[in-house]
Every structure is written in structure tokens, then in C-alpha cells.
Structure 1
Amino acid sequence: MKKYLKLLLGISCVTVISSSYADVTTMQKIYNNPQTAAKVQKCKGNQNCNAFYALSQQWQSIPNNFKIGSFKIKNYARDGDGYGLVKGFSPPSNDRGYDIFEAGEAVFYRGGAASKTDERTFAQGLAVLLYLDNKN
């Protein structure tokens, strides 16, 4: 029985590690190739907006202990605090990340005039962009 439990525990750990890696791989794929993101009606054909939305769906893959300074970015995403993220942190520093950010901001934040649901999407997408921009 002990051997069986150890085997299950080992398989569980490998599954968690590999699925976490796969999610970061998915983030990078969408980030590097925005045209691969599924089309979202709200984005009206804007590939960078589609990529922003697709990235927002990956927010749970941000490690729980990831911080910028002393701020845990994942907490902002979980809470849907787009205002806190956009006011507290600079947008991504490279052109691709900034273009995706700008498209997402225009549709899902709109200078703070978006619905709570859209602001949550904005917070989650921006958190992923900040993670990708600062993880190294």
C-alpha cells in the first residue's frame, strides 16, 4: 500500500510540474504569435486583442510567489484589480508586449470605464504580460 501511495504521489508531482511548464509554453506561444489566438467577438478582428484575451485565460499559470518588487501580481489578477495593475506598474517594455497591452486596454479597460467583468479580464491579461516581461 505504501509503494502505491508513493507512486501516486510521484505521478502527481510530475503532472503538476509538467502542466505548469506547459501553461508557460502556451503563454509564450500566444505572446510570440498573436495570430494563433482564437478570435474573440469583442476584439472585432484585432489579433493583438485576441492575444490579450487568450493570455488573460492563462493567469492561473503565474507562480503564486512571483513578485515585482514586493507585489504579488497574481493577487491582482485573482481580484480583478485592473486599476491597481495599470496604475502601479509600467506596461511591457518591448514593442510586441506593448502592442498586445494597448489592444487589451482599449477593449477591456477603456481608461477605467469598462464593466467589472472586462476589468477582471484586463487585470488577468496585464498580469500575464507583466509576468512574461519580468520573469527572467
Structure 2
Amino acid sequence: MSKLLKLAFGFSFCAVVSISHADMAKMNQYYNNPKSAPKVKMCKGNQNCNAFYALSRQWKSIPNNYRVPGCSDCKIKDEARDGNGYGLYKGYSLSQDRAITLSDAGENRFYRGGAASPAEERIFAEGRAVLIYLDNKKK
């Protein structure tokens, strides 16, 4: 029984690692090549908006223990889960031009200065969290 349990644990560990790697690959694909993102009706043909939306679907791939460098209390994954678009918009800056461009497209469609619906703000929070994560990893 012990060998079987170890084998099962090993397979499940490999599956989790490969899923995480696959999700990170998707994040980088949409970030580096917005044209590769699936078209979303809400984005009305805006490729950067499509990429932002595709990135927002990847928010669960942010490591649970990830903290923004220099801010041990900054838990962007928790804020994404809570749909805190305002906090992720006002509380964190982006430095990479691509991240800023994608964030602007997401803000224009899914946040609109705080005038968006709670469901849209959640999409914005999720996408913004992914961009903050990627922006800090690319420094």
C-alpha cells in the first residue's frame, strides 16, 4: 500500500507542476502576443482587451504565497479573488510598457473609472493581478 500511495502522490505532484507550468506559458503567450488571445465579444475587436480578458482567466495561477516585492502585506491573488479592482488599480503601479498598455485596455472596458458592474470589476481585478504578477517577474 505504501508504494501505491507514493506513486499516486508522485503523479499528482507532477500533474500540479505541469498545470502550473502550462498556465504560466498561457500568461506569457497572451502577454507577449495579444493577437493570440481568443476574441471576446465584450472587447469589440480590441486585441489588447482580448488579451487582458484572457489573462484575467489565469489569475488562479498566481502562486498562493506570492507577495509583491517590497510589500509583504500585498496579496494580489486575494484581492483578485475578492474582485477588488479599485485596490489593484490604485494600490499598485506597473512599469513595463506592455503591462501598462494591456491594463489600460482592461480598465477602459472592465473598470471604467469605477463605473463598471461588480462582475466587470472582478474581471478587471483578476486581469490586473496577473499583470502586476507578470510585471514584477519581468523586471
For residues 73 and 30 of structure 1, what CA distance do their matches in structure 2 show? 19
For residues 100 and 135 of structure 1, what CA distance do their matches in structure 2 show? 16
Aligned amino acid, residue 21 of structure 2: Y
For residues 129 and 48 of structure 1, what CA distance do their matches in structure 2 show? 12
Partner of 2:67: 67
Displacement of 1:2 in angstroms is 1.3
Equivalent of 2:92 in 89, 92, 97: 89
Displacement of 1:95 in angstroms is 1.7
For residues 38 and 18 of structure 2, what CA distance do their matches in structure 1 show? 24
Displaced runs of 4+ in structure 1, greater than 6 A? none
For residues 94 and 2 of structure 1, what CA distance do their matches in structure 2 show? 49
* TM-score, normalised via structure 2 length: 0.95
Gaps of 5+ in 2: none
For residues 15 and 137 of structure 2, what CA distance do their matches in structure 1 show? 22
Displacement of 1:135 in angstroms is 2.5
1:13 and 2:13 correspond? yes
Gaps of 5+ in 1: none
1:119 and 2:121 correspond? yes
Aligned amino acid, residue 45 of structure 1: G
Equivalent pairs, count? 135
Q: Percent identity?
A: 61
User: What RMSD over aligned residues (CA atoms) do the two structures have, in Å?
Assistant: 0.8
For residues 84 and 14 of structure 2, what CA distance do their matches in structure 1 show? 32
For residues 32 and 108 of structure 1, what CA distance do their matches in structure 2 show? 21
* TM-score, normalised via structure 1 length: 0.97
Aligned amino acid, residue 75 of structure 1: D
3-state secondary structure, aligned to 1:114: coil
Once the two structures are overlaid, the 10-residue window that deviates more, 68-77 or 123-132, is: 68-77
Displacement of 1:97 in angstroms is 1.2
For residues 97 and 133 of structure 1, what CA distance do their matches in structure 2 show? 6
For residues 47 and 96 of structure 1, what CA distance do their matches in structure 2 show? 13
